[in-house]
């Protein structure tokens, strides 16, 4: 038995949609892209969707469209995928790292507020692992400080606060990478209610062209293909069932796992469970990954090295001495388990039993002598 951390599904309907596009001869910026943009925007109650080639290019295009560039600062979490910060650098601005909430793993509004300076232009919360950041507080924070609110919703398609979906609070960027809830193989989407911003986004993704041969600005090739959009339209129809299955799988783990800290979901929030992430003592985390692998379970660490400690960003001065204690603690303790909708009942039971048996055996033996005082960090709040 081998149970992967993610298992993207491409079925017969997706294959037929791809063949239809290939037979049409219209492979770029055609009717499938336009239909996918409309359907995705409508799902989120937003006026405009602009499809891109990846989640990273969606972030870059959103920053560019808002005029963020050299001299500007954007507040971001360090506990996220690298593109959250690298996209800021790609437009010439500076990412400023703030700490996370220990319960949600998302950017802490209080930490973000402390990081605001006269150069701050925007705040970019990440809905990490599929759980929404505290958007009501970020909306108020950005309003009171006259800042742009951008959402990195790459991992959070389907997450909600009440009945409001993430991606509808500010300009938002999504990813359709194969590990995400739905995939277009590669692809991204920017959502906005601002018609003028959507127009700039479309120019940015298409070499700055307003019409053929006329370049009104310097842009890039960030276009989504027709093949990708055709797959996305089919996958979007599967989304409700897949979200329900992810939630059922997570609920089973919540009830079955022992001796680990399971995810906490804020009252009124709906978790999309792009990842099911537990916390264990730091001395146990890496051995647990190997123990699970030996039992046929792929577990991964997102993210063992926070962005501020990445070698590529040493020039920013955010080295190992940066004061992001909750980020550092989470990076040492988190572990994500398979939660994808393709899990069978037997696989789900196997994952839970493998985790619990490995953890309890390790706890019975105890940590190495030098780490006997180190315990997992229980969520607060």
- Tens of pLDDT, residue by residue over 353-376, are 999 999 999 999 888 765 655 556
Distance CA 362, CA 76 (A): 36
| Span 3-17, average pLDDT | 97
Would residue 245 count as lying in a domain? yes
Is residue 331 a contact partner of residue 79, using CB atoms and an 8 Å limit? yes
Residue 165 and residue 17 in one domain: yes
Cis peptide before 322 (omega within 30 of 0): no
Residue 267 and residue 147 in one domain: no
Would residue 6 count as lying in a domain? no
The SS3 assignment for 277 reads strand
Domain's final residue, options 234, 264, 296: 234
Interior CA angle at 91 toward 89 and 93, to 5°? 55
Residue 197 and residue 256 in one domain: no
Quickly tell me which residue has 């700490």 as its tokens. Answer: 99
Buried b (16+ CB within 10 A) or exposed e, 305-319: ebbbbbeebeebebe
What pLDDT sits at residue 315? 81
CATH code assigned at 354: 3.90.1150.10
Residue 355 and residue 313 in one domain: yes
Cis peptide before 148 (omega within 30 of 0): no
Residue 34 has pLDDT above 70, yes or no: yes
Percentage of the chain exceeding pLDDT 70 = 95
Domain's final residue, options 234, 265, 290: 234
Residue 228 and residue 247 in one domain: no
**Assign residue 108 a region: left if phi > 0, alpha if psi is -120 to 50, beta otherwise?**
beta
Residue 114 and residue 147 in one domain: yes
* Lowest model confidence (mean pLDDT) among 75-89, 180-194, 277-291, 310-324: 310-324
Strand 120-123 relative to strand 73-77: parallel, antiparallel, unpaired?
Answer: parallel
What pLDDT sits at residue 373? 54
Task: Give the number of other CB atoms < 10 A from CB of residue 338.
Answer: 24
Residue 49 CA neighbour count, 13 Å, CB half? 25
Residue 241 has pLDDT above 60, yes or no: yes
Domain hosting 258: range is 239-371
Task: Give the number of other CB atoms < 10 A from CB of residue 105.
Answer: 28
Residue 147 and residue 249 in one domain: no
Task: Give the number of other CB atoms < 10 A from CB of residue 231.
Answer: 26
Would residue 219 count as lying in a domain? yes
What pLDDT sits at residue 319? 45
Domain's final residue, options 187, 213, 234: 234
Residue 378 has pLDDT above 70, yes or no: no
**Element housing 165 (H / E):** strand 164-165
Residue 172 and residue 244 in one domain: no
* Lowest model confidence (mean pLDDT) among 152-166, 204-218, 224-238, 346-360: 204-218
* Lowest model confidence (mean pLDDT) among 45-49, 76-80, 192-196, 369-373: 369-373
CATH code assigned at 79: 3.40.640.10
């Amino acid at each position: 038995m081998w149970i992967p951390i993610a298992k993207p599904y491409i079925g017969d309907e997706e294959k037929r949609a791809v063949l239809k596009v290939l037979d049409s001869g219209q492979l770029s910026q055609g009717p499938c892209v336009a239909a996918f943009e409309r359907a995705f925007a409508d799902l989120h109650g937003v006026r405009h969707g602009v499809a891109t080639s990846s989640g990273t290019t969606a972030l870059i295009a959103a920053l560019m469209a808002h005029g963020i560039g050299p001299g500007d600062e954007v507040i971001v979490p360090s506990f996220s995928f690298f593109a959250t910060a690298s996209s800021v650098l790609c437009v010439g601005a500076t990412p400023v790292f703030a700490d996370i909430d220990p319960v949600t793993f998302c950017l802490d509004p209080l930490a973000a507020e402390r990081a605001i300076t006269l150069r701050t232009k925007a705040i970019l919360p990440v809905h990490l692992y599929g759980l929404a950041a505290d958007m009501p507080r970020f909306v108020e924070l950005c309003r009171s400080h006259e800042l742009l609110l951008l959402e990195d919703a790459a991992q959070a398609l389907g997450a909600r606060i009440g009945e409001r979906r993430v991606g509808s609070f500010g300009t938002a960027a999504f990813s359709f990478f194969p590990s995400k809830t739905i995939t277009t193989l590669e692809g991204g989407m920017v959502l906005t209610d601002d018609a003028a911003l959507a127009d700039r986004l479309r120019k940015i993704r298409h070499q700055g062209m307003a019409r053929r041969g006329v370049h009104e600005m310097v842009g890039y090739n960030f276009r989504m293909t027709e093949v990708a959009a055709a797959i996305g339209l089919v996958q979007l129809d599967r989304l409700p069932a897949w979200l329900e299955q992810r939630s059922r799988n997570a609920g089973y783990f919540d009830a079955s796992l022992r001796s680990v800290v399971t995810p906490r979901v804020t009252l009124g929030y709906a978790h999309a469970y792009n990842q099911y992430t537990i916390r264990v003592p730091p001395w146990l985390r890496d051995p647990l990954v190997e123990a699970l692998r030996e039992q046929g379970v792929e577990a991964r660490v997102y993210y063992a090295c926070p962005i501020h400690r990445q070698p590529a960003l040493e020039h920013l001065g955010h080295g190992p001495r940066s004061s992001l204690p909750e980020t550092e603690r989470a990076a040492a303790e988190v572990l994500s388990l398979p939660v994808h909708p393709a899990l069978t009942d037997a696989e789900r039971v196997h994952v839970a039993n493998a985790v619990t048996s490995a953890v309890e055996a390790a706890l019975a033996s105890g940590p190495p002598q030098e780490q006997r005082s180190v315990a997992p960090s229980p969520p607060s709040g």
